[in-house]
Structure 1
Amino acid sequence: MVERVTAGAASTTIRPAVRVALVYLLARLVTTGFFLSASAIAPADARHGRDATLGTYVLAWDAQWYWLIAFQGYPVDLPLTEAGQVAENAWAFMPLYPVLSAVVSLPFGHWGVGAFLVTLAAGYGCALVLHGMFRERLGEGAALWGVVFFSAGPLAALLQVGYAEALFLFFLLLAIRCVQTRRYGWLYALIPLMGYTRPGVLAFGLFLALFGLWRLTRREVEPVTRHDVIHILSLGALATVVGFSWQVIAAVVTGDPAAYLDTELAWRRLWVGDSGGFVPFEGWVQGAAFWFPRWGLPAWTGVIALLGIVAAVAALLLFEPHVKRLGVEVRLWSASYLVYLLAVFFPQSSTFRLLFPLSPLAGALAVPASRRWRIGVLVACLIGQWLWVYNMYTLGNTFWRIP
C-alpha cells in the first residue's frame, strides 16, 4: 500500500512537470524561429548587423554588461564623461547572474552558453512554479493555459537571452509561493538571492509590509501568531537591508557615496540630460515632459494619462474578478512592484521588460474557459512577442528600441 501511494504521488508530480516542459520547450522553439526570422530580415542599419546568429542575440544589449562583470568585475574608479559626470558602468547590474553563468559555462568554455543555460533553466523553473500557483487557485486547465501565456508572451524572448530577468523571477515566484504557504524560513535565503540578481527586492519588502497589514485585518479568520509577526518583520527588514546594501557596497569599493545612484542616473541622462540627483517618483513626471511633446501633445496630458493609468491598474488589482482569483499575495506583490517602478524608474522602451516580474498576472487571462478566448490571447501573445523581437533585435537602431 505504501509503495502504491508513493508511486501515485510521484506520478502526480511528474506528469505536470512533463506537460509544463513540453509547453515551455515548444514556446522556446517558436521564439527561436522569431530570432532566426529577425536575423534574416535585418536591414543594413540594424544594431546587430545582417545575418546575426542566435549567439549574437543571446549576448546582445545588457548581456554585454553581465559578460564584462563575469570577467572584469566592477570598476574601482568610476568612468566619467567629458563633462565630468559618472558614465554608464557595471555598478548598475547585480553580480549573481553573471557569476552563476560563468560557473555553468566552465565545461563549454564560453560565457554565453552558460548564460543561455541559466536563463533557460530558470525560465522552466518559473513555468513550473507558476503552474503550481495557478493550479491551486484556478484548476488544472487554466493553470496550463497560464503557463502557455507566460512561455509565449510578449516578453518570452527574455527566457533565452543573457538577461537576469528569468533568474530573478524564479527566485521571486518561489518567494511568493513561500508566503502563500506560510513557509517563511526559505525567504531568508531567497531574499538575498533576489537582491543580488537584479534590482527589485525593495518592492518585496513593501509587499511583506502590505501582507502583514492584510493579515492583521483578517486575524479573526486566520490568527496572527507570534511566529508570523517575527518572520514578517524580520524578513521585511532583511529585504530593506539587502535592497540598500548594493549602494553601500558600491560606495565602499569606489569611495564615492553616490556611486550607485549616479550610475543609474547616467542612463536617464541619455534621455533628459542632467536633471540633478535622484528624487523618488520624479522620473515619470520627467517622462511625461519628454514623451508627450514628441507625440504632439502637451506635457500636462502625460501627467493626466499617468494618473489615469495608476487609477485603472489599482481598480484592476482591487476589483477585477479574474485577478482576484489569483489570490491576495499576487495582487499585493503586483501593487508593490508597480509602486516601486513609479518611485525609481524613468519610462522608456525598457519599461516593457521591467514589467516581467508581473508575470503571475498571466493567470488571470487563462480564467475564462472559452477556447476562442484562450486561442485569441495566445495569438495576441505571439504577435506581441514578434513585435518586441523585431523592434529590439531585428532593428534596435533608435533610442526607443532598447530592451
Structure 2
Amino acid sequence: MADGLLTPEPRPTMWKRAAALPVAVRIGILYVVARIVTTGFFAIAAELAPFGSRFGADATPAAFAAGWDAWWYWFVVNVGYPDALPLTDTGEVAENAWAFMPLYAYIAAWLGAFVGSWIAGAVLVSLVAGYLACLVLYRIVRLRAESTAAMWAVVFFAAGPLSGLFHVGYAEALFLLWLFLALWCVMLRRYAWLYLLIPLMGFTRPGVLAFALFLALHGIHRWFTRAREPLPARDIVHIVLLGLLATAVGFSWQVYAGLKTGDAGAYLATELAWRRNWIADPPTEFAPFDGFLLGARFWAGQWGIPEVAGYVVLGVIVAGVAALLLFEPHVRRLGADLRLWSASYLLYLLAVFFPQSSLFRLLVPLSPLWGAAAMPRSTAWRVGVLAACLASQWWWIYTMYALAGTALWTIP
C-alpha cells in the first residue's frame, strides 16, 4: 500500500493536455497553425509569380491581399457607388462597384482607421471572422456528431481549399460568420436572432435569397414533420416573417441601385458585365438558369467537345450532387436543415451564376458539409482529407494569385 501511495501518477501526454483545453483555445491553436501554413503558401506563390501575371514578378503577399475584389471594396469606401452606370467604348454597362455590398467594406474602413490602412483592416476582419466562423461551425457539427468529428470539421474548414480567403480583402469570411450563426440559430429553433443576422448577411455579399428559399423549405419540412417535432404557432409566424424579410433584403440592393442610378436594371446589368470576361457578346437581360446553360456551351467549346456533351456533363454534375445530398449517409447525419441549406444555395447558384473559376470561391457557403467529411472515424481517412485540403489550397493560391489573369481559369 505504501508503495502504491508513493508511486507518482503518470504525467498526462501532450494530446491529453491539449484535449483538456477549452474548445475555443483548441480551435484557436488549430486556426493559427492553419494561418501560418497559408501565409507560407502566399509567400511561395509571390516568389513564383511570373512577369505576365496580374501582380507581376515582384508580387508580394500584401499585394495579393489587396488585389482582385479587394480593390473594389476599397473603391466602395474611397470613391463610392456611381450615380450613373459607367459604359464601355461600345456603350455596354461596364464593371462597377454596384456588384459589391457595403458592410464588409465599411467595417474594414472603420477598423483600418485604428490599424493604419484599409487593407490592414480588411485582412484583420477576414482573419477574425474566419476564427469566429470556426467556433460556430464546431457548434453546428457538434449538434449532429461527436466532439472529435466536429473538431476535424473545423480543421478541414480552417485548412480548406479556399481558406486563403481568410488572408485577403474579400467578404466571404464575414459572410460565413453570419451564415453559420444563422444556420445554428435555425437548428436550435432560436429564430429571433435571424431578424438581425439576415440583414447582416444581405449587405455583406449576395446569397441571402438562397437563405429565403432555405427558410421556405425549412418551414415546409417542419410542417410535414410536426408529429415528431411540435410546430408552435410562434415558430410558424417567425419562419414566414423571416422568409419575407430575407426576400426583401435580397432584392433591396437592386432597388437601391436602381433608385440611385435611375436605371431599374442597374444591379443585374452590372453583374452581367462580368460575363464579358468569358463571353464576347453576353445577353443584356438576366434570365434565371441562363448562366449555367451558357457556361455549359462555352466550356464545351473550350474543351473541344460537342455542345451537347457540355449539357450532359452539367446534368450529370447536378444529378450527382442531388444524390449526395439525398442519399450519402454521412451527409444525412448532418440533418435536414444543413441539407436543405446546401440544396437551396446550389439551386441559387444554378439560377444566377455563370460557371467559371470563381465558382470554387462561391461554393464556400457549403462549408457545413465538412461535418460529413469528418464523420468517418478512420485516422487514415481524416489525414487523407486534410492532405487533399492543403494540396487544393496551394493549387488555388498558386493559380489565382501567382498565375493571376494569365488564363481564363486563374480568376478567383
What interval of TM-score do these two structures reach, taking the shorter chain for normalisation?
A: over 0.9
**Structure 1 moving runs of 4+ over 4 Å:** none
Aligned-partner Cα distance in 1 for 2:383–2:31? 17
Distance apart, 1:108 and its partner CA: 2.2
1:180 matches 2:187: yes
Counterpart in 1 of 2:303? Answer: 295
Aligned positions of 1:316-395 closer than 5 A: 316-395=324-403
- The structure 1 residue matched to 2:89, chosen from 71, 78, 82, is 82
- SS in structure 1 opposite 2:226? coil
Superposition RMSD in Å: 1.2
- SS in structure 1 opposite 2:227? coil
Contact map agreement 2:269 2:284 (CA 8 A) in 1: no
Aligned-partner Cα distance in 1 for 2:134–2:22? 14
1:251 matches 2:267: no
Q: Which amino acid aligns with 1:146?
A: A
1:57 matches 2:64: yes
Counterpart in 1 of 2:407? Answer: 398
Aligned-partner Cα distance in 1 for 2:348–2:27? 31
For normalisation by structure 2, the TM-score amounts to 0.94
Counterpart in 2 of 1:163? Answer: 170
Deviations 1:201-221 (A, max 9, x none): 000000000000000111111
Distance apart, 1:327 and its partner CA: 1.5
Gaps of 5+ in 1: 1-11
Q: Which amino acid aligns with 1:401?
A: T
Q: Which amino acid aligns with 2:34?
A: A
Aligned positions of 1:116-131 closer than 5 A: 116-131=123-138
Aligned-partner Cα distance in 1 for 2:155–2:103? 28
Counterpart in 2 of 1:72? Answer: 79
Q: Which amino acid aligns with 2:381?
A: W
Distance apart, 1:113 and its partner CA: 0.5
Aligned-partner Cα distance in 1 for 2:216–2:336? 13
Deviations 1:270-297 (A, max 9, x none): 2222323100001111001101121110
Aligned-partner Cα distance in 2 for 1:217–1:105? 49
CA 1:286 to 1:13, structure 2 compared with 1: closer, same or farther past 3 Å? Answer: farther
1:275 matches 2:283: yes
Aligned-partner Cα distance in 2 for 1:370–1:14? 24
Contact map agreement 2:84 2:261 (CA 8 A) in 1: yes
Counterpart in 2 of 1:262? Answer: 269
Aligned length: 392
- SS in structure 2 opposite 1:106? helix
Aligned-partner Cα distance in 2 for 1:109–1:374? 40
Counterpart in 1 of 2:222? Answer: 215
Gaps of 5+ in 2: 1-18
CA 1:158 to 1:235, structure 2 compared with 1: closer, same or farther past 3 Å? Answer: same
Aligned-partner Cα distance in 1 for 2:328–2:243? 28
Q: Which amino acid aligns with 1:94?
A: M
Aligned-partner Cα distance in 1 for 2:191–2:20? 23
Counterpart in 2 of 1:4? Answer: none
Deviations 1:355-389 (A, max 9, x none): 01000001111111111111111110000000000
Q: Which amino acid aligns with 1:264?
A: E
1:91 matches 2:98: yes
Counterpart in 2 of 1:239? Answer: 246
Distance apart, 1:46 and its partner CA: 2.0
Counterpart in 2 of 1:110? Answer: 117
Q: Which amino acid aligns with 2:328?
A: E
Contact map agreement 2:133 2:176 (CA 8 A) in 1: yes
- SS in structure 2 opposite 1:346? coil
- The structure 2 residue matched to 1:201, chosen from 187, 203, 208, is 208
Q: Which amino acid aligns with 2:35?
A: R
CA 1:50 to 1:204, structure 2 compared with 1: closer, same or farther past 3 Å? Answer: same
- Aligned identity (percent) is 58
CA 1:204 to 1:13, structure 2 compared with 1: closer, same or farther past 3 Å? Answer: farther
Contact map agreement 2:109 2:122 (CA 8 A) in 1: yes
Counterpart in 2 of 1:44? Answer: 51
